[in-house]
Amino acid sequence: MKIEIPFPHQEVAQTRTLPGSFYADPEVFEAEKQDIFLKSWHYACPISALADNGAYVTIQILNQQVFLVRDQNDEIRGFFNVCPHRGHQLLEGSGQKRVITCPYHAWSYDLTGRLVAAREGGKSRTLVGSGICLKSVQVGTLASFVFVNLDATAEPFADYTAELARSINNVIPDLTDYKVRESVGYFGGDYDCNWKIAIDNYLECYHCETAHKSFCDMMDVKNSTFSLHDNFIYQFVPSGGKETNAAYSINLKEDALDGHFWFLFPNIIFSIFPGTKNFSVSWVDPVSAVSSLRKFVTMTPDGISKEREAARSRWGLEVLNEEDRQLCRSVQKGMVQRGFDMGYYLVDPRGNLSEDTVRHFHRIYLKWMFPVVSKV
């Protein structure tokens, strides 16, 4: 599908933002599926869901069904969840299997994806051993999280995230002691907006003083910094150092104090929030041109206070997230107004108000969507 940029290329992601139509047009959304999301990394599940040999988890990315399984040699593998025979879905939900048998005609596959049994009659014994196997997807891990990529030719996860993983490790070297907690973290909910509006909003703290009063009371946002990298953006927001503040109470001796936020293109966010020690992955699932879903999974060390962790999560969901959802909802309406064509950036390479981060996101976006134009 050929999408045109309806404005001079020299302006887009330079002095002006992406055009409004890019945030609302179903054709642009279709192109993004093909050029970005079917080629990019997606959160799949916590590693703990694949603890034992044969444990499997099914997931869906856009309309693509995938499953992950730990094979007999302890390797985590990922496959499209579709039978090569005639296309029936192989697995549902999660569980444990030694052999995967298709419910339709009972072809069976081992945990490396090879066809190992098929009901063949008479003289036709040609299928098993003929090389028929499930089509694999790429798998990678970071901290206790598993990620998948549907594109077999995509850069391996360890390479794509090498610099990011170093940055995270510098900030939180004891992450191996953290575990994913089922009950911790929160579902950020429906965003009535294009996925890029949620990401744009996430990436700048220019709106913090106007929209996030309690966040600003807890943090020292005026001294926040950011750094731009090839495929990620790191933002640091220092603690306000207040045990009592308008968000939730902080234990200045034991808690995580500063905010650390890593955005990995296109839609994954790793973060540390002040409060009981935590490390989260969250992401903005693109649902349609005008809607998306924000989801979170959080890791914590052993022995933290469940009540205080719940208070932190509750504030995140009911206050911060809600403030952002409302902003994003209004901006979505703005994208189709005749009075709006494309926005402006407040650019300041060092300032805490800067929207350089949003511009950087747009530049990476253009590279994926318009590789030829981006080189000019």
Q: Which residues bind ligand FES (CB under 6 A)?
A: 83, 85-88, 102, 104-107
Partner interacting with residue 105 (select from Fe ion, ligand FES, none; CB below 5-8 Å by kind): ligand FES
**28/192 Cα distance (integer angstroms):** 17
Alpha-carbon span 157 to 148, nearest angstrom: 8
Residue placing its CB nearer to ligand FES in the complex, 105 or 333:
105
Q: Is 254 within 8 Å of 157 (Cβ atoms)?
A: no
Give the C-alpha separation, 324 to 212, whole Å. Answer: 9
User: Is 355 a residue that touches Fe ion (CB under 5 A)?
Assistant: no
Tell the smallest beta-carbon distance from residue 93 to ligand FES (Å): 18
Q: How far is CA 223 from CA 171, 215, 242, 289, 353, in A?
A: 18, 14, 15, 35, 10
Instruction: List, as one string, the DSSP characters of 48-104.
Output: GGG-STTEEEEEEETTEEEEEEE-TTS-EEEEESS-TTT------SEEE-SSEE-TT
Q: Between residues 106 and 336, which has the closer beta carbon with respect to ligand FES?
A: 106
Q: How far is the CB of 81 from ligand FES (least distance, A)?
A: 11
Encoded tokens for 327 = 């902003």
Residue closest to Fe ion when measured from CB atoms: 324
- Tell me the closest approach of the beta carbon of residue 98 to ligand FES, in angstroms: 18
Q: Give the Cα separation of 274 and 259 in Å (integer).
A: 6
**Comparison of 104 and 340: residue with beta carbon closer to ligand FES:** 104
Task: Give the one entry of Fe ion, ligand FES, none that residue 324 binds, where binding means its C-beta sits below a cut-off of 5 to 8 angstroms depending on kind.
Answer: Fe ion
Give the nearest distance from C-beta 363 to Fe ion in angstroms: 21
CB of 132 to ligand FES, least distance (A): 11
324 binds Fe ion (CB under 5 A): yes
**Shortest separation between residue 268's beta carbon and ligand FES, angstroms:** 33
88 binds, among Fe ion, ligand FES, none (CB under 5 to 8 A by kind): ligand FES
What distance in Å separates the CA atoms of residue 297 and residue 139, rounded to the nearest whole number? Answer: 18
Q: Rounded to whole angstroms, how far apart are CA atoms 138 and 273?
A: 30
Instruction: Choose among 224, 293, 231, 233: nearest CA to 263.
Output: 233
Can residue 200 be called a binding residue for Fe ion (CB under 5 A)? no
Nearer to Fe ion, 285 or 324 (CB): 324
CB of 150 to ligand FES, least distance (A): 20
Stretch that binds Fe ion, among 37-45, 148-156, 252-260, 318-326 (CB under 5 A): 318-326
**Number of residues that this document lists for the chain:** 376
**CB-wise, 9 or 105, nearer to ligand FES?**
105
Which of the choices ligand FES, Fe ion, none does residue 197 contact, using the CB cut-off of 5 to 8 A by kind? none
Q: How far apart are CA 361 and CA 357, in angstroms?
A: 6
Give me the residues that bind Fe ion (CB under 5 A), please: 324
